[in-house]
Structure 1
């Protein structure tokens, strides 16, 4: 299996960008292109960037929707911001773009990004650059990687772990939603040797928006309402991505048992992780280590003993809530992690990464609180 795109160097959110980097602000905003803006993650980028003072959306692409006003495709954003009409990727004038969010489907990104001018900083929200080993990519995504040289310079974008590398990257591979929800709680515990690398079981549940916006029978209302179903059992594409990150943390190969489930809700994600504690480690040790690791992070919060996180507590926000419980089986722990799959699991983390890349305060444009009820 391949490990992470680049070995991590941890850092805190307070660190600043290199002095040589361009400075972007409300008076000199970065010009942003969103490729694949007609999908859910592209739409979320536009929604969140409507309140970003240092980023100005100047290009939106959507191959099948080219020529349309963005508000015709997403009427709920008619008053959100002044954005251009959708165009085709081939019609983009890259001389007038500083950075891009690539929200295209898997396997469609590689050749496009390989052809971009080198001044463009890119956060790719597809899976195309998440796996270091291109043969692992071919195995799980059903086709050879078309930009292996570009893959070598990609930095994995789990912001709270790889921040130092992200800062100087030209291309950041934004993590998948399931991998984000699993790695944020388990990475520090494996790195510290507080949990064992064997017998890690992850039970994850996601809202239907994680499947994208394309019309598919399996995701019609009558197919998903009033029920729950497992999918990708023992072979979900996010498994190697999760394992490469956890292997980096542990310093040795980690294999997990992972099963995702589709829930009858629009957005939200919960990963319940069952782990073995190392000898003489207690539940309080696990919780306190996570508290210490994330105490200076804006978007990751470890809940006090006994509090249970709910997906509705993070809906529409860039936050990750984590809780740790003792299993009734001695020596085991239950770690629960919730995120909004479209925000911290996709577009919110992408903006967080681009903020880091362009030297903008990391929290900019992302301080929306959860929407409830």
Structure 2
């Protein structure tokens, strides 16, 4: 059995890792780390795990964790993982970090967008960006893995094949995305109160959301050049879900736009054999309710011949494929297991 430790086990993403590992046949949680709830029973915080988890919350002592665990998930705010990691720990245990500490390869970009000093820049180059369907081969040998964010996972996967195949002009890419409220975390904030969120939708982080450089960097690798794009997130009155709607100009070949068949062929080339990516039938478009509680990514598209543009759409559960599910998928790859181990979750409905 893979011995799992979690730092930040009482946040939404950490709790989702706990839920997923409960159903994992090859892993078990041996350390429920939480600064806020030390010595409290975990099931008293998350009642859905009553009589399923009897353990108490412990601290976030990564040195001690590295002695008792095979893998540590850090589901914590930016800055914590980087402040704790060192060579001694990395030589003993694998780390899957759900924060942004090791996602960006340019430390100056990280410090500009996250407004904090990076505490371990020496590990940035080594860290593997854990977008499973794109970086699978690199993930296999990783000891430090940067788990992508929820907006970024959906946004990148939705456009990646068309950028990679040169079917769209990536400099024209515009991304609008909706997120459920759980994406803001479990901390108490006035803006996330029921009466503030219910029956409303709003944009935020307009032109300066900190997931923007992550999307630009990863799609830039696919394009083979640096990218600048517009990314506008929106908060929607739902618990879970990300819906990304993306627009880009199609690149003509011999004066003609790519056909629907050519676009679908590009998606099939990269995702046709992917377990967790579902390419929807023509005329069917993603909905967050069809992926809720699962590790699936649903993708659809529509060519607008009138404008010469394409509309690409993707949907995920922000806490599963957008956080904990992808983290467990990465763990499976790192430990040589089938990727869907413990993750064959049928989406919840209604």
- Tell me the TM-score normalised to structure 1 length: 0.90
Aligned position for 1:275:
248
Q: Given the alignment, which residue of 199, 222, 241 partners 1:249?
A: 222
- Alpha-carbon separation, structure 2, partners of 1:344 and 1:93: 25
Question: How far apart, in 1, do the equivalents of 2:224 and 2:90 lie?
Answer: 36
2:260 equivalent to 1:290 = no
Q: Distance in 1 between matches of 2:184 and 2:307?
A: 37
Q: How many residues align?
A: 344
Runs of 4+ in structure 1 displaced over 6 angstroms? none
Query: How far apart, in 2, do the equivalents of 1:321 and 1:350 lie?
Result: 18
In structure 1, the gaps of 5 or more residues are: 1-28
Are the aligned partners of 1:110 and 1:128 in contact in 2 as well (CA < 8 Å)?
Answer: yes
Q: CA deviation at 1:204?
A: 0.2
Aligned to 1:224: 197
1:99 to 66, 71, 74: 71
1:188 corresponds to which residue?
161
Query: Is 2:60 aligned against 1:89?
Result: yes
Gaps of 5+ in 2: none
d(CA) in 1 for partners of 2:47, 2:12: 13
Contact 1:275/1:334 (<8 A) preserved? yes
**In structure 2, C-alpha distance between the alignment counterparts of 1:339 and 1:323, rounded to whole Å:** 12
Report how far residue 107 of structure 1 moved.
Answer: 1.5
Query: Are the counterparts in 1 of residues 5 and 65 from structure 2 also a CA contact under 8 Å?
Result: no
* Aligned counterpart in structure 2 of residue 69 of structure 1, from 25, 37, 41: 41
Q: Secondary structure at the match of 2:285?
A: coil
Deviation at 1:283, TM superposition (A): 3.0
Deviation at 1:117, TM superposition (A): 4.6
Q: Which residue of 1 aligns with 2:29?
A: 57
Equivalent in the alignment of 1:35 = 7
TM-score (norm 2): 0.96
Q: 1:339 corresponds to which residue?
A: 316
CA deviation profile, 1:16-68 (whole Å, cap 9, x unmatched)? xxxxxxxxxxxxx0110011001000000000111101111100100011111
Match of residue 175 from structure 1: 148
Task: Classify the secondary structure of the residue corresponding to 2:136.
Answer: helix
- Higher relative contact order by CA 8 Å / sep ≥ 6: 1 or 2? 1
Residues 83, 346 of structure 1: alpha-carbon distance in 2 compared, 3 angstrom cutoff = farther
